[in-house]
Amino acid sequence: MRLLETQGLSVRFGGLKAVDQVDLCVEQGEILSLIGPNGAGKTTLFNLVSGFLTPDAGAARYQGQKISGLPPHRIAAMGLVRTFQKTNIFSEIPVRDGVATGFHLTRHVDLASILLHNRRAKAEQADVDRRTTDILSFTGLKPWAQHLGKNLPYGKQRILEVAVALAASPRLLLLDEPASGLNPTETNDLMALIRRVRDERRITVLLIEHNMRLVVGISDRVVVLNQGKKIADGPPGSVSTDRMVIEAYLGRGFAAGAAPHA
Walk me through the domains of the chain, giving residue ranges and CATH numbers: 2-256 (3.40.50.300)
pLDDT of 261 higher than 50: no
Confirm if 42 and 33 have CB atoms less than 8 A apart.
no
If pLDDT is split at 50, 70 and 90, which confidence band does 194 have? very high
Residues with Cβ within 8 Å of residue 218, at least 6 apart in sequence:
31, 33, 191, 194, 195
Contact indicator for 205, 32 with CB cutoff of 8 Å: yes
- Kind and range of the H or E element at 159? helix 154-167
Mean residue pLDDT of the chain comes to: 88
Report long-range pairs for 117-121 (Cβ below 8 Å, ≥24 apart): none
- Asked whether the predicted pLDDT for residue 94 surpasses 70, the reply is yes
**Distance, CA of 10 to CA of 105 (rounded, Å):** 29
Q: Are 2 and 26 in contact (CB under 8 A)?
A: yes
Which pLDDT belongs to residue 259? Answer: 45
Mean pLDDT along residues 162-183: 94
Of 65-69, 99-103, 184-188, where does mean pLDDT reach its minimum?
A: 99-103
pLDDT at 256: 39
Which pLDDT value is given to residue 107?
Answer: 57
- Region 190-195 average pLDDT: 97
Query: Three-state SS for 138?
Result: helix
Residue 242 pLDDT more than 90?
no
End-to-end CA, the chain: 33
What pairing do the DSSP bridges indicate for beta strands 65-66 and 204-208? unpaired
174 in Cβ contact with 185 (< 8 Å): no
